[in-house]
Structure 1
Amino acid sequence: MKIERLEEHLEPAENCEVRVKKMGNITEVRYMKRTPECSIQKLNKDSYVILSTGELKEFEHTETRAENLTSVSQSLANLRDLLNTNVTDASHCLWVTLTYKENMQDNKRLYQDFRKFHMRMLHYLKKNSLPTYEYIVAMEPQGRGAWHAHLVMIFPDKAPFIPNDTLASVWGHGFTKTKPLKDVDNVGLYLTAYLTDMELPDVISSHGKIIYRDLKAVSVMDEQGKKQTKAIVKGARLKMYPPGFRIYRASRGIKKPEVINCTEAEAMEEIGDAPLTFERTIKVMDDSGQGFNIINYRQYNKARNFQQKGAAEANGG
Structure 2
Amino acid sequence: MISELIDEHSLTTVKCMGNIVELQALEHMNLDARIKILKNHRYMVISTGEVFDMARSVKKSDNVKSLRKTFRRLRERINSNFSGSGNELFVTLTFDSKLGERPYLGDVELIRKRYKDFVRRMKKKFGNDLVFIKVIEPHADGHAHLHVLIKFLELKRVFISPDEFKCFWRWGFVKIHKILGNTNVGAYLTAYLTDVELDSEALAYIVSRGISGPIDVVKKGEKKFIKGGRLHYYPRDFHLFTCSRNAKFPVVSRERKMDIKKELSAATLSFSKQYDVHIGSFSNTIQVESYVLPD
Aligned partner letter, 2:173: F
Q: What residue number does 2:9 align with?
A: 15
Aligned counterpart in structure 1 of residue 64 of structure 2, from 69, 75, 78: 69
Q: What residue number does 1:260 align with?
A: 253
The aligned length equals 269
Aligned partner letter, 1:118: V
Q: What residue number does 1:186 align with?
A: 184
Q: What CA distance in whole angstroms lies between the structure 2 residues aligned with 1:258 and 1:80? A: 14
| CA distances 1:181-201 after superposition (whole Å, capped 9, x unpaired) | 123211001111122110001
Q: Are 1:29 and 2:23 counterparts?
A: yes
Q: Which has the higher mean CA deviation after the structures are superposed, 150-159 or 63-72?
A: 63-72
Q: Which has the higher mean CA deviation after the structures are superposed, 96-105 or 24-33?
A: 96-105
Structure whose alpha-carbon radius of gyration is higher:
1
Aligned-pair distance for 1:111? 2.1
Q: What CA distance in whole angstroms lies between the structure 1 residues aligned with 2:60 and 2:135? A: 17
**Aligned CA distance change for structure 1 residues 58 and 296 (closer, same or farther; 3 Å):** farther
**Aligned CA distance change for structure 1 residues 245 and 107 (closer, same or farther; 3 Å):** farther
Q: What CA distance in whole angstroms lies between the structure 2 residues aligned with 1:232 and 1:246? A: 24
Cα-Cα RMSD: 3.0
Aligned-pair distance for 1:10? 4.9
Q: Are 1:144 and 2:141 counterparts?
A: yes
The answer to whether the Cα contact below 8 Å between 2:275 and 2:285 also exists between their aligned partners in 1 is yes
Long gaps (5+) in structure 1: 1-7, 36-40, 50-56, 220-228, 307-317
Aligned partner letter, 1:111: R
Q: What residue number does 2:241 align with?
A: 248
Q: TM-score, normalised by structure 2?
A: 0.81
SS at 1:22's partner residue? Answer: strand
Aligned counterpart in structure 1 of residue 225 of structure 2, from 199, 224, 232: 232
The answer to whether the Cα contact below 8 Å between 1:67 and 1:239 also exists between their aligned partners in 2 is no
Q: Are 1:280 and 2:273 counterparts?
A: yes
Q: What CA distance in whole angstroms lies between the structure 1 residues aligned with 2:291 and 2:4? A: 16
Residues 273-312 of structure 1 correspond to what in structure 2 (within 5 A)? Answer: 273-286=266-279, 288=280, 290-303=281-294
**Aligned CA distance change for structure 1 residues 66 and 255 (closer, same or farther; 3 Å):** same
Identity %: 28
Aligned-pair distance for 1:112? 2.1
SS at 2:147's partner residue? Answer: strand
Q: What CA distance in whole angstroms lies between the structure 1 residues aligned with 2:250 and 2:53? A: 33
| CA distances 1:203-248 after superposition (whole Å, capped 9, x unpaired) | 12422378654001012xxxxxxxxx11000011112222222111
SS at 1:139's partner residue? Answer: strand
**Aligned CA distance change for structure 1 residues 43 and 153 (closer, same or farther; 3 Å):** closer
The answer to whether the Cα contact below 8 Å between 2:16 and 2:80 also exists between their aligned partners in 1 is yes
**Aligned CA distance change for structure 1 residues 18 and 132 (closer, same or farther; 3 Å):** closer
The answer to whether the Cα contact below 8 Å between 2:131 and 2:247 also exists between their aligned partners in 1 is yes
Q: What residue number does 2:220 align with?
A: 218
**Aligned CA distance change for structure 1 residues 166 and 279 (closer, same or farther; 3 Å):** same
**Aligned CA distance change for structure 1 residues 125 and 66 (closer, same or farther; 3 Å):** farther
SS at 1:68's partner residue? Answer: helix
Q: What CA distance in whole angstroms lies between the structure 2 residues aligned with 1:185 and 1:136? A: 18
**Aligned CA distance change for structure 1 residues 58 and 152 (closer, same or farther; 3 Å):** closer
Aligned-pair distance for 1:143? 1.2
Q: Which has the higher mean CA deviation after the structures are superposed, 241-250 or 74-83?
A: 241-250
Q: What residue number does 1:52 align with?
A: none
The answer to whether the Cα contact below 8 Å between 1:204 and 1:210 also exists between their aligned partners in 2 is no
Aligned partner letter, 1:63: V
The answer to whether the Cα contact below 8 Å between 2:16 and 2:22 also exists between their aligned partners in 1 is yes
Q: TM-score, normalised by structure 1?
A: 0.76
Q: What residue number does 2:49 align with?
A: none
